[in-house]
Every structure is written in structure tokens, then in C-alpha cells.
Amino acid sequence: MQALGRHLLLELFDCDAEALNSLETVKVSMVEAAKRAQATIIDVVFHEFNPFGISGVVVIAESHLAIHTWPEYRYAAVDIFSCGDVLQPQTAADYLVEQGPWSSEAARARRSGKSCGTPPSPTA
């Protein structure tokens, strides 16, 4: 059976805690990652926890980008799932790791996941 999509998981360590705790910063960064990946954005839902932390999802026609932040640990987990040939999930991941506002000189990322090929055509 052929895979239906590509799934990338990012773990971001030693990030800027203030940026990870800013609802606006996290939301804008995730939407920008989706746009750079050429995603079709359907909805954007984020929640700020008290006393800290953000969870959110950018729902896209091709699937989703999700994030959960733990500013107190300077850590964020990102989930990017994509279907189809147009979306570029690696572009979204690269933006978040290399240009995300939470990046710092010490920031590190661990990536997992792989490209699982092209999904079958709807007529197959």
C-alpha cells in the first residue's frame, strides 16, 4: 500500500522562552511556515495556557501544522503532516528551525520523519 502523505516531527531545544510564550509570535510563525510551504490555509486555532505555553494548529487543505510549546523548558514540539505533491513540508520545517523567532545561537533541532512518496490518484 502506498503512503498517503509525509509526516515530519521537529523537536526544538534551547529556544527563546519569551518567544515560545508569545501567542502572537508562535501563531504568526506557524502561519508563515505554512505559506512558505505553499499550503492552502483553511483555519488557524491557537490557545495560550496559564501560566505559560502555547498549543496551536494551522489546518491546511493538505493536512496540518501543529505546535506545542513549553517555555519553561525552552522547548517546542512541531508536527507537520502533508498530503499531495504541491505542499513542501521540508520548507516549513526549515523555516521554523532556521528562521523561527524562537531560534537562538544555542537552539538545536531534532528532526524525524521521511517522505513517504506520492499518494495514489483518487481514481485508483
Catalytic residues: 63, 68, 83
DSSP codes, 59-82:
EETTEEEEEEEEGGGTEEEEEEEE
